[in-house]
Amino acid sequence: MDDPPRVRELRLVVTAPDYEEALRFYRDALGLKERAAYQSPGGRVTILEAGRATLELTDPGHAATPWNSLNARLDAPAGLQLTLFTELGDRPDR
C-alpha cells in the first residue's frame, strides 16, 4: 500500500481590511521575512516566512493556562490574537 499524501506547507491566509497596517505589523514589527509579493488590479498579497508552521487547536480553558512557557498575547490586525511564546524547558529552578 502506498503512503498517504503528506502536507508539505501550511499557509494561513488572513484577509486584512487594512493591508498596510497588517504588513507593517507582521513584516516590520514582528520581523517576518518577505518571500514574495504580488499585485493585480484587484488587490495585493504578500507571503511572509514564519519559520516552521504548526497549527495548534485549543479550547478556551487551555488557552488561558500557559504550560511551562513565557507567553505574550498581542491583538493583531484583522481581529486576530497572536500568542508569542518561549518554552522554559524542564529546569527545576523555574
35 lies in some domain: yes
pLDDT beyond 70 at 72: yes
10 lies in some domain: no
Cα–Cα distance, 83 to 88 (Å, whole number): 15
Range of the domain at 70: 19-87
26 lies in some domain: yes
- Kindly write down the DSSP assignment for every residue of the chain, as one continuous string: -PPPP-----------SSHHHHHIIIIIIS-PEEEEEEEETTEEEEEEE-SS-------HHHHTS--SEEEEEEEEGGGEEEEEEEE-TT-TT-
pLDDT beyond 80 at 94: no
Q: What is the mean pLDDT of the chain?
A: 84
68-85: average pLDDT: 85
Q: Residue 81 has which C-alpha cell?
A: 490574537
pLDDT beyond 60 at 91: no
pLDDT beyond 90 at 35: yes
64 lies in some domain: yes
pTM (two decimals): 0.71
pLDDT beyond 80 at 11: yes
Total number of domains in the chain? 1
